[in-house]
Amino acid sequence: MRYFGILGLLVAISLLTISCSDKKEEVAKLEKEVLDEGADIDSVGDSSALTDTLGVQTSSPQTVPDEVEPEPFPAIPTGGGYTVQVAGCESQAYAQHLVNVYQDRGYEPYVTNKTVEGQLYYRVRIGQFENLQEAKVLKADLLDKYSVEAWVDLIS
């Protein structure tokens, strides 16, 4: 009887190992996609993300040529509810890049501004949800598909 218990444990460990290796391949594929997308914004500057003590995801300082006219951001939803914030960045150009990325993925992102301790941030957000549960579903979907550490916020 003890033999079967040990054998079952070994089978379970083997299955977990196989499952984890599949996830590693998926993560590697997503990392390659992100790096390929990052090549498109090399002229914008360093796009590595940081999180400050207030929990605002930011990007490193970036340089944007003066002659580049920024595109207008999509319209901000009116009314209340919940939204999912995928990034907060100091660069308007990088925020526009993220809007384009999420639009290409089939989402409807928008950008709001927030000044924190004298610094202007562009908050890239997706969706307008009437209840918290719907927003949490999108947050989980973004984490699962793209490894994005998003958070749910009230629309303000």
pLDDT tens for each residue of the chain, 156 residues long: 666 666 565 555 655 555 554 555 665 666 656 555 544 444 343 334 444 434 444 444 444 444 455 677 877 777 789 999 999 999 999 999 999 999 999 999 999 999 999 999 999 999 999 999 999 999 999 999 999 999 999 987
Half-sphere exposure of 38 (CA within 13 A, CB side): 12
Note whether 87 and 154 are within 8 A (CB): no
The answer to pTM > 0.75 is no
Note whether 150 and 85 are within 8 A (CB): yes
Note whether 58 and 88 are within 8 A (CB): yes
